[in-house]
């Protein structure tokens, strides 16, 4: 009995920490997207998709807060602020690059896959811990992240070709 109780406590602790981490990562995602959206004059399809995913991300944050609240927990303001700052700094690092759009495209694809792995793990912890009410919310977020990763993957060749075309024409192609 004591082993079961300890295991339950461990699973819930890991779940809560994972939810807090995901919440902070979503704040980082907002910061990354906000820095990119205004720098995409040559890539309106990317700007449009980032704006749509930004709205999805706000919903993802709300879903994470709903799950945390159901567990009588709340997000970590320190983690949220720290990863938001990291997101801003990471996005600023590409602003002055002549191939900003390419670097951001690579980073976005990697970031989406990091989020996918995080949500897959959270769903597994949720299943293991019996947090059935959280699972549909986490699955919805995972589906959104999978769709965004698919966009990043499928749009990269077209973005690269457009970048090359603009550069060949002597235009600023970075964003």
Give the CATH number, domain containing residue 150. 1.20.1260.10
pLDDT digits (tens, 9 = 90+) for 2-20: 555 566 789 999 999 999 9
* Lookup: tokens for 82: 């720290």
pLDDT digits (tens, 9 = 90+) for 119-147: 999 999 999 999 999 999 999 999 999 99
pLDDT at 88: 47
**Number of other residues whose CB lies within 10 A of the CB of residue 24:** 24
Q: Is residue 173 part of a domain?
A: no
Domain that holds residue 23: 2-168
Contact call for residues 153 and 80 (beta carbons, < 8 A): no
pLDDT digits (tens, 9 = 90+) for 31-72: 889 989 988 989 999 999 999 999 999 999 999 999 999 999
pTM: 0.87
pLDDT at 8: 78
Q: Is residue 56 part of a domain?
A: yes
- With CA atoms as reference, report the closest residue to 20 among 86, 81, 98, 74: 74
How many domains in the chain?
1
Q: Is residue 175 part of a domain?
A: no
């Amino acid at each position: 009995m004591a082993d079961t109780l300890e295991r339950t406590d461990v699973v819930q602790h890991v779940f809560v920490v994972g939810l807090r981490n995901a919440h902070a990562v979503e704040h980082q995602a907002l910061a990354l997207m906000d820095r990119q959206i205004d720098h995409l004059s040559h890539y309106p399809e990317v700007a449009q998709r980032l704006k749509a995913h930004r709205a999805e991300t706000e919903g993802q944050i709300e879903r994470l807060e709903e799950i945390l609240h159901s567990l009588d927990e709340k997000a970590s303001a320190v983690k949220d602020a720290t990863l938001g700052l990291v997101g801003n700094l990471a996005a600023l690092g590409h602003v002055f690059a002549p191939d900003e759009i390419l670097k951001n495209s690579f980073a976005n694809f990697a970031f989406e896959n990091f989020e996918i792995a995080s949500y897959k793990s959270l769903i597994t912890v949720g299943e293991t811990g019996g947090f059935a009410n959280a699972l549909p919310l986490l699955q919805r977020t995972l589906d959104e992240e999978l769709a965004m990763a698919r966009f990043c993957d499928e749009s990269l060749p077209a973005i690269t070709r457009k970048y090359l075309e603009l550069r060949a024409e002597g235009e600023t192609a970075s964003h």
